[in-house]
Structure 1
Amino acid sequence: MAGRPKIFDEHQAIEKATEVFRAKGYDASSADELLNAMGIGKGSFYHAFKGGKQELYVRSIEQFSEGFLSRFEQQLSSSDNEIELIKTFFLQLSQKPDCDRETGCYLGNALVQLSEKDIEAKHISGRLLKKLQQTFKKSIKKAQDTGQIKNAEDPEILAWHLTNLWNGLHVTRRMENSFKTLRSIIEMNLKVLD
C-alpha cells in the first residue's frame, strides 16, 4: 500500500513555510504557525516531511536557493555586463533593511543557522554555497578572458572571495546596519573585480 495520496501542492506549501522561516527564523517558527501557513494538518505534514520541522527547513532552503540561483543566473546570462551586475547585486545588500528574494538574504541567514544543526545540514550548506561560487566563477572567467577585469588571480579563488563576502555580509548585517559602513565594506571587497 503506497499510503494516502498528497492532497496539497508541496512546492506551494514549502513556499508558504519559507515565509514563516524568513520572518521568524528556524527556532522561533512553531509547528502550529508552519501548519497554518501551509494550510495542512499534522498527518499530511508528517507524511510529506518525515523528518519534521528540520526536513521542512532544509527543503525550504533548497527550494529557495534553486529559485534564487536560477533567477541570478538568468539575470547574468541576459546582462551586457555581468561584472557590473554582480557589483550591483552586492551593493544592494547594504541598502535593503529586510530580506528579499533578489539578494537571497533568507538563504544567507538560513545557511548560518543550518550549518549549526548537524553534519548533514553542513553538507547541504556547503553544496549550496558551491553552486553560488560556480556562478561567480563563470562570470569572472568570462570577464578575464575579454579583458573586462585586469585581476589575473585564479577565477576559482576570486569566486570564493565573493562567496565568502556574500556569506559574511549576512552575519555582519546582524550586528551592523549602517548603510555607509556596509557599503564601504562591500566596495573594498569588490576591488578584486577591477
Structure 2
Amino acid sequence: MAGRPKIYDEALIIDKATNVFWEKCYDSASADELLDAMGIGKGSFYLAFKGGKQELYEKTLQRFSDTFYDKLASKVNNAENGIDVIKQFFYAMAKAGNEEKNRGCYLGNALVQLSEKDRNIRSLAANLLSRLQDLFTQAVKRAQANGQLKTKEDPALLGLHLSNLWNGIHVTRRMNNSPAALKQLVDFNLQLIQ
C-alpha cells in the first residue's frame, strides 16, 4: 500500500522550518515549535523526515542555498557585466534592515554553530558556501576576459576575497548597523575588483 498521500507542500514546510531554525538556531528549536510552524503532525513529520530534526535541518540548508544561489547566479550570469551585479549585491547587504542584519547568514550560522558538533552539517554548509565563492570566481574570469576589469589578480583569489567579504559583512553588520559605515567598508573591499 502506498499509504496516505501528502497533503502539504514539502518546499513550503521546509521554508517555514528554515525561519524557526534561523530565529532560534538548531539546538534551541524545539520539535513542537517546528511542528507548529510547519503545520504538520508528528506522524507526517517522521514520515517525511525519517532522520528527524537533523534531516529537516539539512534540507533547510540545501533549499536555502539552492534558492539563494539560483537567484544570484541567474542575475550574475545573465547580466552584461556580472561584476556590477556583484557590487550591487554587496551594497544591498550594507543597506539591509536591522532584522536581516541581526539574523546573519543562514549557512554561515550553521557552519559556526555546529562545526564542532556535527561534521556532516559542517561539511554541507561549507560546500554550499563554496558555490558562492565559485560563482564570484567565474564572474571575475568572465569580466577579465571581456575587458570589464582592469585587475590582473588571480580570479580564484578574488573569488575567495569576495566570499570572505560576504561572511565578514554578515558578522560586522551585527556589530555596526550604520549603513554609511558598512557602505564604506564595501567600497574599500571592492577596490580590488576595478
With the length of structure 2 as denominator, give the TM-score of the two structures.
0.87
Query: Which amino acid counterpart does residue 106 of structure 1 have in structure 2?
Result: Y
Give the unaligned 5+ runs of structure 2.
none
SS for the counterpart of 1:74 is: helix
Contact 1:20/1:29 (<8 A) preserved: yes
Cα RMSD over matched residues? 2.2
Which residue matches 1:86? 86
Contact 2:77/2:139 (<8 A) preserved: no
- Counterpart Cα distance in 1 of 2:186 and 2:138: 21
State the Cα distance separating 1:122 from its structure 2 match. Answer: 1.5
Which residue matches 2:28? 28
Contact 1:16/1:38 (<8 A) preserved: yes
Deviation digits for residues 164-193 of structure 1 (CA, Å, limit 9, x no counterpart): 111122222232222222222222111111
Query: Which amino acid counterpart does residue 64 of structure 2 have in structure 1?
Result: F
SS for the counterpart of 1:27 is: coil
The within-5 A match list for 1:1-194 is 6-96=6-96, 97-99=98-100, 105-194=105-194
Contact 2:81/2:148 (<8 A) preserved: no
State the Cα distance separating 1:54 from its structure 2 match. Answer: 2.4
State the Cα distance separating 1:15 from its structure 2 match. Answer: 1.2
Contact 1:109/1:170 (<8 A) preserved: no
State the Cα distance separating 1:59 from its structure 2 match. Answer: 1.0
State the Cα distance separating 1:68 from its structure 2 match. Answer: 0.5
Among the aligned pairs, what percent are the same residue?
53
With the length of structure 1 as denominator, give the TM-score of the two structures.
0.87
Deviation digits for residues 66-106 of structure 1 (CA, Å, limit 9, x no counterpart): 01100001111222221111011011111112339xxx933
- Counterpart Cα distance in 2 of 1:65 and 1:153: 28
Contact 1:114/1:125 (<8 A) preserved: no
Question: How many pairs were matched up?
Answer: 191
Query: Which amino acid counterpart does residue 21 of structure 2 have in structure 1?
Result: F
- Counterpart Cα distance in 1 of 2:9 and 2:92: 33
